[in-house]
Amino acid sequence: MTVINARSVDEALTALRDHPRARLLQGGTDLMVEVNLQRTSVQDVIALRQVSELRRWHVDEQSRAVRIGAGVPYAELERNPLALHLPALAQAARTVGSPQIRAAGSLGGNLGTCSPAGDGLPVLSAMDAVVHLRSATDSRDVSIHDFMLGVKRSARRPDELIVAVTLPLLDGFQGYAKVGTRNAMVISVASACLIHDASEGSIRLAYGAVAPTVVRARNAERWLAANAPLRGRPVFDRALASEFGRRAAEECAPIDDHRSTARYRRHAVAVLAERLLLQASGYGASREHTT
């Protein structure tokens, strides 16, 4: 019954092995709300805020990827230089809570909590991110698509720590959009991330808060690939974007709750997908076509 302040990943993993029921604490923006509102009586807590290894990120030009430590705060993701490498992630980071929350919250926390409304998760899904997990005895890499299992359920074992996430460096448009009741301090009603891989010739769309986990609009993606050339600088007209949005909305499974209705969420997904595709249209060429 104690709080263990880990100073390194190894210390955290040893503590996790010795205290299998311990809760992991990174920024505190989820766990402390539970504790304060007394929904959770915590036993053992392993605090990660002093683990500097989790706060580092680096670009690997050779593999064209960015590896981001699980504890890198949103405040750092939203700024250059990371924002230049991963613009959609930066946009998502800017929509998180408030400056105070963004100084504390991290992708590791987003993944650990695994809420379908987690603002960073649609970006990880659309970019086919890889989650790096470690335990005292082994380590493994899990695709984001296999990591998220359900509402607040993930593939992380109790003895594992999320240490980092790897995202590819891509050429092409990257966009993130979110619907909420106001601009700051809002949990998403619906969100979407659209990533264009100009060299591979693919467009990927993921959405949040409209299904038990963040999901990809695979059918809409395939339909678009079959109906538009996607290499280089593709141009999309409004009719195509509107149909893309309509198809994307068919693939979500929203619910009614205190934040919104299923009907509104489905509509929002269609609008977000359409808008993001129009923003991606001709990206890198002239910007006159955008609205």
Report the interface residues with another protein, using CB under 8 A: 1-3, 5, 25, 27-29, 31-33, 35-37, 40-45, 47, 49-50, 75, 97-101, 103-104, 183-185
Residue 215: exposure state from Cβ atoms within 10 A (0-12, 13-18, ≥19): buried
Name every residue whose Cβ is closer than 8 Å to that of residue 9 and which is 6 or more positions away in sequence: 51, 53, 54, 134, 161, 163
Q: Are 196 and 283 in contact (CB under 8 A)?
A: yes
Sorted by sequence, the CB contacts under 8 Å of residue 103 that are 6+ apart come out as 73, 74, 75
* C-beta closer to another protein: residue 75 or 203: 75
In whole angstroms, the minimum distance from the beta carbon of 261 to another protein comes to 23
Give the pairing type, strands 215-216 and 202-208.
antiparallel
Pick between residue 40 and residue 219 the one whose CB is nearest to another protein. Answer: 40
Nearest-approach distance from CB 46 to another protein, in angstroms:
9
Beta carbon of residue 126, minimum distance to another protein (angstroms, whole number): 26
By C-beta, is 37 or 226 nearer to another protein? Answer: 37
Residue 29 C-beta: closest distance to another protein, Å: 5
Q: What DSSP character marks residue 148? A: E
What is the Cα–Cα distance from 288 to 280, expressed in whole angstroms?
Answer: 12
Closest to another protein by CB, 183 or 286: 183
Distance in Å, CB of 234 to another protein, minimum: 33
Q: How far is the CB of 214 from another protein (least distance, A)?
A: 22
3-state SS assignment for residue 13: helix
Cα 259 from Cα 241, distance rounded (Å): 27
Cα torsion angle, 246, 215, 100, 67, sign: negative
CA-closest candidate to residue 66, choices 93, 84, 48, 91:
84
Our CB check for another protein shows the closer of 101 and 155 to be 101
Least gap, CB of 204 to another protein (angstroms) = 30
State the amino acid at position 247 in one-letter form.
Answer: R
Nearer to another protein, 113 or 202 (CB): 113
| Pairwise CA distance, residues 291 & 284, whole Å | 15
Q: Which is nearer to another protein, 34 or 171 (CB)?
A: 34
